[in-house]
Structure 1
Amino acid sequence: MLFNSIYQYSWNSISLLVSRTLNSSVTAIEVAFTLYAILSSFSQIGGGYIIDTIGPRLVGVISAIFFSLGFLIPVIFPNIILFYISWSLGSIAEGILYGIAVNVALKWYENKRGFATGIVSLGFGIGGAIFNPFISIYRYYYDPFIIIGILSLFCLLLISFNVTYPPRDKLKGNSPKKIIRGKDWWLIYFSYSFAIIPLLSFSSSLSFLGSELPRWLLLLSITIFPVTSGLGRPLFGMLSDKMNRFHSVIILNSLTLLASLLSLLSLPLSAILVGLFGGSTLTLYLSLLGDIYGNKFSGTNTGILYTGKAFAGTLGSILLGYFITISKSIALLFIIVSPLISIILLLAASKVLSY
């Protein structure tokens, strides 16, 4: 998860280096983040089916190799088109590795899945805080990409060779074919999609939204943002284990809404709080799926849910980038409205399920 974090939470730092190295525009660079959001999301469906069927080891090893190539290929071929291709390959691998990791928590720790999922995904939050200062000391991406590519290859291969899941015949749950026929599933799906937009928006565009801030304050915000995102996950996961899961998700989305509203007054503080609350969004939604639909097919089911990130990533990068070019106020309004829509959809889902 620490390495997975780089593709999302280090993007604010990486995008600046890519722009300088390849002499590309903001819009062109944001296409790469959109590709990441789409491919890392949809790759979890196929990856989830494989890990549900044969386990995580083989697909984990293959994904570790392609993950590293996402950083190493652009060093050899510094071209925007080849950067899109290599970043896409790495994004597919990142999505599969993410699914493998969270399903360790969902499949092994049924009674405390909120806290367990939060602990696992903690790495996805704080990884950016570890790598962002390192990446930011460079003007071009060559050296950091070489170091990250080689280091991730060694570490991820070592982990992938040793990860396991419980025997499949001891797990219970509803199949993807069954759950996608229900209205409740799609309400939860789109609720998640809108809930994650503030987090993805700050992940992809904080450096542009905060372009008028003093450089030290912007760098501090970019560094703290993934830290708060990581720290909130086990905390809110643990609280959700003790509460009604639906209620805990609604409370979390309401806090994300308030944090987004704060952007009108203080962008750095808003980003930090969106990280804290928004970073826990997936943790609680994955746990909610486990509660409702079981863990036998959790790899595939969570993979399908995760595709909502593709929808949110498109809105939170390309569309947001377009709004930024028109007016930052319009861009911030777009961020604010998204969690409100999410809350409405989740309330509708709770009525369908009588939760």
Structure 2
Amino acid sequence: MQQKDYNRWLVVTGALICQFVIGALYTWSVFRNPIQQATGWSATDVSLAFTINLASIPFWMIFAGRLLPKMGPTKLAIVGSSVLAVGLLISSQTQNIGSLWALYLGYGVLAGAGIGIVYGIPIATCLKWFPDKRGFITGLAVMGFGIGSVAFAPVASFLVGELGPFKTFFYQAIYSIVGVGLGAQLMRVAPDGYKPKGWTPPAPKPGQQAVPAVRPDFTAGQMLQTPQYWMILVLYAFANVAGLMIIAHASPIGQQLAEMTAVQAAGAVGILNIFNSLGRLFWGTVSDKLGRMNTVAVMYIISAAVMFSMGSISSMVPYVIAVSLIAFCFGGAMGTFPSLTADFFGAKNLSVNYGLIFIAYSLGAIIGPIMATTVLARTGGSYNAAFVISGTLCAIGVVMAFITKPPKAPKAPKTA
């Protein structure tokens, strides 16, 4: 339902609540070892549940994007939280069922589906209410997801210690459906062509790309036919490969390079997660002033420089600074690419179009950690080649950011 006089900041509040709640699912590292200890299953077998979860999210985002115009954000978010809750309830019975497939179905398939359905709704909804602050508002919305993960980690650790991992899944299911349900009540659809009172889209400066607010709207099919889609997909994948490789291996890398203890390395991971969250808002806001692709280029320059220097790090403080910078820029990509997608392909079909761009996240989630593990095995225990590969991808990304320009308006369909 469209409401012209609705307070758009209430939509943001609802978006933050929804993202905060589903962000709790990314405390997986708290659950992995206790699940192994309770079941005797290998780390590889248990970790596959999280890989399935990550890989499935973009495809459910695309599915939800097609339903969003028909169902609206409130109903669809509640559907997504219900799927997520069912997945967590099945996960809570994994030990009783005695099968890994319960964990794969519950945490992997259904929880991944629930997150995928919910995740894109606040982004697409908020962007249409804030044509004047696209970068800031998407950065703020996705920051909620990162903060939710950071905030829930100590809670999950306490509950897992007291109740075990499977019973914690049960309470997480209740938290998910209640929390998202509350946030969803605040979200509304912006009126078509909405502009905030007193705001006029600024005129483009000579030589500058077209103003985002006046970009034409591409359907998913039209977007897929442009070279810009494939450039952005690859560009985004590079950020995810580098960022998710570090996030997945931050603790063992710290123990190897900086000779940190497991406790110190865990502390570094906590700091990394905070910078991941802050980077989403910071770089999203910067992109409103500096321009999307210019901001992307700066983030990739920083990431490339840090990656190329990682092999020379030998103490704790430089290591924490390095991985925090990588996480800060990775978070920035998560906060910048939704508004970049709207700038290039319009806001009308963003819920589907960004889902297609977000496939890059699945690629990064699979390629980054596997690349690091493979390099580690083939080089006798050194991550250096993985750093060089990631740094090279980021360096290529800088060039791609400078040469990728907005597409021409799609051709109008022929009429008989």
Runs of 4+ residues deviating >6 angstroms? none
Task: Name the structure, 1 or 2, with higher relative contact order (CA <8 Å, separation 6+).
Answer: 1
Deviations 1:291-332 (A, max 9, x none): 111100010111101111111111123443344444586545
Aligned-partner Cα distance in 1 for 2:87–2:347: 31
Cα distance change, pair 183–118 in 1 and its aligned pair in 2 (3 A): same
Q: Return the index of the structure with the highest Cα Rg.
A: 2
Contact 2:219 2:349 in 1 (8 A): yes
Cα distance change, pair 114–327 in 1 and its aligned pair in 2 (3 A): same
2:351 pairs with 1:299: yes
1:174 alignment counterpart: 218
Name the structure where helix makes up a greater proportion of residues: 1
2:189 pairs with 1:165: yes
**Paired AA for residue 82 in structure 1:** A
**Paired AA for residue 346 in structure 2:** G
TM-score between the two structures when normalised by the length of structure 2: 0.78
Cα distance change, pair 165–125 in 1 and its aligned pair in 2 (3 A): same
2:291 pairs with 1:244: yes
Aligned-partner Cα distance in 2 for 1:15–1:211: 19
Listed as ranges, the gaps of 5+ residues in structure 2 are 1-18, 195-212, 408-416
1:277 alignment counterpart: 329
TM-score between the two structures when normalised by the length of structure 1: 0.90
2:110 pairs with 1:110: no
Match of 2:281 among 215, 221, 234: 234
**Paired AA for residue 250 in structure 2:** L
Over the matched positions of the two proteins, sequence identity in percent amounts to 21
2:412 alignment counterpart: none
Q: Which moved more, 1:317-326 or 1:94-103?
A: 317-326
1:20-169 to 2 correspondence within 5 Å? 20-78=37-95, 79-87=99-107, 88-137=109-158, 138-139=160-161, 140-168=164-192
Contact 1:102 1:117 in 2 (8 A): yes
Match of 1:259 among 306, 310, 315: 306
Task: Quote the offset at 1:352 in angstroms.
Answer: 5.0
Contact 2:294 2:401 in 1 (8 A): no
Task: Quote the offset at 1:202 in angstroms.
Answer: 3.3
2:360 alignment counterpart: 308
Task: Quote the offset at 1:221 in angstroms.
Answer: 1.9
Q: Name the SS of the counterpart of 1:110 in structure 2.
A: coil
Aligned-partner Cα distance in 2 for 1:272–1:316: 17
Task: Quote the offset at 1:80 in angstroms.
Answer: 1.9
Aligned-partner Cα distance in 1 for 2:374–2:33: 18
Aligned-partner Cα distance in 2 for 1:32–1:253: 30
Q: Which moved more, 1:199-208 or 1:284-293?
A: 199-208
Task: Quote the offset at 1:349 in angstroms.
Answer: 5.9
Aligned alpha-carbon RMSD (Å):
2.5
Cα distance change, pair 203–21 in 1 and its aligned pair in 2 (3 A): farther
Contact 1:132 1:223 in 2 (8 A): no
Listed as ranges, the gaps of 5+ residues in structure 1 are none
**Paired AA for residue 242 in structure 2:** P
Match of 2:242 among 188, 198, 206: 198
